[in-house]
Structure 1
Amino acid sequence: MTKTDSQIAVIGAGPAGLMAAEVLAQGGARVTVYDAMPSAGRKFLMAGRGGLNLTHSEQFAEFVARYREAAPKLEAAVAAFPPDALRAWSEALGEPTFVGTSGRVFPKAFKASPLLRAWLRRLDASGVRFAFRHRWNGWDGEGRLTFQTPDGMLAVAADATVLALGGASWPRLGSDGSWTTILTDKGISISRLRPANCGFTVRWSDVFRARFEGQPLKGIALSFGPHSLRGEAIVTQAGIEGGAIYAVSAELREAIAVKGEAVLHVALRPDVDQVELAKRLSASRGKQSFSNFLRKAAQLSPVAVGLLQEAAISAGQSLSAMSPERLAELINGVPVKLTGVAPIARAISSAGGISFDELEAHYMIRKLPGVFAAGEMLDWEAPTGGYLLQASFATGAAAGRGVLEWLKR
């Protein structure tokens, strides 16, 4: 592309910001990436701690639909930098990928750190500069970007700016949502940042909490309204979280916002029908305790039996007094009343952000010519499974291309 002497500021050294910087540097722009943290990609590294899920291998139409209401606004960006392109990009950095049994895509190293190190080396070789411990405060009276640095305030005149400051989950890693005040003061419409892919609070009994905190519920099926899915969940001190919970967290969050609570149903043995369960539970238990009988007859884990007991106590009933048919029904439909949403600081991601109505093509903010936004700052959410990172990479690339086009004009 045509060489340019324009000085571009990218604020935020996460996946969206780094991808914008890469596209800009390839386009010949002089780029400086600013970040309040001491190093780049801290949340990216956290995302890869249990195995970096870069993207997903499902068909494009199904993939884009995962972005729900925001799908029409994100489709062009994801189409321009689709999952296959992201995989090729990773391989070019020396980190080939593979598709797991669930369709999720991972680097073979299964970690974020080797990929990030290779990426930063390539950015450095392309001339991208980094300014860490630079916290963005907005603009001064002359339109310059202002930063709080260890040495005091700094004002920067940039020809264009890409904002990629993330949402508000895991704020200790850098994304604290403080940018919302800066942009709101500029008249930008921002949907309130809310937890996404998050846990929920449950009023467990003291006995259940003390005994089963941190225990997984494996091989379960969850249902809420029309939604039903398989997966795992984990009992926490305050409630429940885990992959299966995250998959319906948006629906649960909105129901709680309207009604103050939501009832989730848990099938503890979803592969065994009610008739077969009732038959097993009709057997004599002999001298076994009722808990041991349930564990053996229905093949339930101790935490699953504990969950059944919680439901019975809440309903003022006794498990041992139930008929085999009623007990079988409860095993595959345990009601769990969710009373609130876990704090956004513990959420995997956040919903809300800059309204798409505020943006022109390539994610430039209409009221702030030359200022683009990307990543979780935008008003979208997606489930785990590679969709979060894919949209962050894709919108970062789109914002970078948008800056280059805007500079040409």
Structure 2
Amino acid sequence: MTDAVVIGAGPAGLMAAETLGKAGFSVTVAEAMPSVGRKFLMAGKSGLNITKAEPSATFLAAYGDQIPTALTTALHQFGPAEVITWAEGLGQPVFTGSTGRVFPTVMKASPLLRAWLARLNSLGVEIETRWRWEGWHGDTLVFETPASMRTLSPEVTILATGGASWQRLGANGHWARHLPESVAPFQPANMGFSVNWSDHMGPYLGAAVKAVALTAGDQTSRGEFIISARGIEGGGVYMVSRAMRDGAALTLDMKPDWSHDKLRNALNKPRGKTSLSNHLRKVLKFTPVQSALLAEFGRPFPDDLTTLIKTLPVTHAGPRPMDEAISTAGGIRFDALTDDLMIKHKPGVFCAGEMLDWEAPTGGYLITGCLATGAMAGAGAVRFTRQNGVVSAS
């Protein structure tokens, strides 16, 4: 017997389990993969960015203009300050980088995850791996396990089954078939875009593009991005990927800190017999990859390059496949949930993390959102059981 079952052992699920365990509940976490936190560990391979230290209004704006009320509440209750306190409470000191991004001092995810699992163990949380959720039989949860089919009938359930990208890490979206009436279609988020490069771009595949500004719709990013054989990807692109996915054109400002007048004056300096690429290198400090991008997307060149350099149109063939995306939009609609993330038509079943229909850019926002909704769902489950008198947890 168990008071609560949490399905999914990513950041949202583990935070829900911690919240329930601290409230005195017996908790079983069911994870379909052979080990827990696989996407969490992958996110930390190049440095685990756990949150972003910035004013609350700026932080919330990263989640979009129409952020659901429940998500706003969750982020107010468990925002950047709480994430930092939580990590440090697990013995993982953090530091804040020049851009406001917050990292564990060791930069890796594995020490934080080990400390977290030790805490959960001390709370009596049981974790079962290779338990694949197969929906309900009536009100009973059904799992496929290596030994046999198993069923559990907890008082409360937290679903934290992830989005629909990175299938090899366990996030495949297959859970949506169990809740078809509550799910918005999945879409890629924080994804790269396909570009059919001409042959002259071959030497620049793998190159990083820095010191430019990317604009799509009303979104602008100063982050760097990578030219890959498949197209463009990386943090700078991810910041504007939502607008691009929704149809906004992408332009590059190749000299974002220069005014039109300053740029035009520099371009009008005598060129002589110097090639255009060398002229751009001398007067604008263009890198070879910047010159290559200008040629790729700007030819035939106009007489005055100023406007082209400030708003270089990028031709692309749409988002890369969803399974390559860092995260996904779509999932459980917020209008199908109560204010504390319980499914309206399934009392006692709460949802958290990337399976909810929200999206945010990389840079600490995704992990914070998962932790915040996990904490909210766990707290909601505690209140539900106590209000209904089904668990006498202390």
> Shorter-chain TM-score: which interval?
over 0.9
Cα distance per residue 1:105-159 (max 9 Å; x no partner):
111111111100100011111111111011111112x432111222232222222
Residue 288 of structure 1 deviates from its aligned partner by 4.2
Q: What is the aligned partner in structure 2 of residue 164 from structure 1?
A: 160
CA contact (8 A) 2:52 2:363 kept: yes
Partners of 1:25 and 1:308 lie apart in 2 by: 56
Residue 368 of structure 1 deviates from its aligned partner by 1.1
Which residue among 86, 90, 96 is the counterpart of 1:89? 86
Aligned amino acid, residue 264 of structure 1? L
Pair 1:147 & 2:143 matched: yes
Q: What is the aligned partner in structure 1 of residue 211 from structure 2?
A: 219
Query: Structure 1, unaligned stretches of length 5 or more?
Result: 256-261
Q: What is the aligned partner in structure 1 of residue 231 from structure 2?
A: 239
Q: What is the aligned partner in structure 2 of residue 356 from structure 1?
A: 334
Q: What is the aligned partner in structure 1 of residue 170 from structure 2?
A: 174
Q: What is the aligned partner in structure 2 of residue 385 from structure 1?
A: 363
Aligned amino acid, residue 21 of structure 1? A
Residue 196 of structure 1 deviates from its aligned partner by 0.8
Provide the alpha-carbon RMSD of the alignment: 1.8
Aligned amino acid, residue 223 of structure 1? T
Helix, strand or coil at the partner of 1:362: coil
Q: What is the aligned partner in structure 1 of residue 298 from structure 2?
A: 312
Aligned amino acid, residue 291 of structure 1? S
Instruction: Map 1:364-379 to 2 at 5 A.
Output: 364-379=342-357
Q: From the superposition, tell whether residues 76 and 273 of structure 1 become closer, same or farther in structure 2 (CA, over 3 Å).
A: closer
| Aligned sequence identity (%) | 48
Helix, strand or coil at the partner of 1:338: coil
Partners of 2:213 and 2:113 lie apart in 1 by: 36
Pair 1:126 & 2:123 matched: yes
CA contact (8 A) 1:65 1:71 kept: no
Residue 265 of structure 1 deviates from its aligned partner by 1.1
Q: What is the aligned partner in structure 2 of residue 27 from structure 1?
A: 23
Q: What is the aligned partner in structure 2 of residue 99 from structure 1?
A: 96
CA contact (8 A) 1:70 1:379 kept: no
Pair 1:207 & 2:223 matched: no
Aligned amino acid, residue 263 of structure 1? A
Q: From the superposition, tell whether residues 362 and 168 of structure 1 become closer, same or farther in structure 2 (CA, over 3 Å).
A: same
Q: From the superposition, tell whether residues 236 and 7 of structure 1 become closer, same or farther in structure 2 (CA, over 3 Å).
A: same
Partners of 1:340 and 1:285 lie apart in 2 by: 38
Cα distance per residue 1:366-389 (max 9 Å; x no partner):
111111110111111112221111
Q: From the superposition, tell whether residues 368 and 231 of structure 1 become closer, same or farther in structure 2 (CA, over 3 Å).
A: same
Question: TM-score, with normalisation over the residues of structure 1?
Answer: 0.90
Q: From the superposition, tell whether residues 75 and 226 of structure 1 become closer, same or farther in structure 2 (CA, over 3 Å).
A: closer
Q: What is the aligned partner in structure 2 of residue 346 from structure 1?
A: 324
Aligned amino acid, residue 139 of structure 1? W
Aligned amino acid, residue 299 of structure 1? K
Residue 6 of structure 1 deviates from its aligned partner by 4.7
Cα distance per residue 1:307-343 (max 9 Å; x no partner):
1111234xxx2x4xx53xx123322221102321111
Partners of 1:70 and 1:273 lie apart in 2 by: 34
Residue 97 of structure 1 deviates from its aligned partner by 1.6
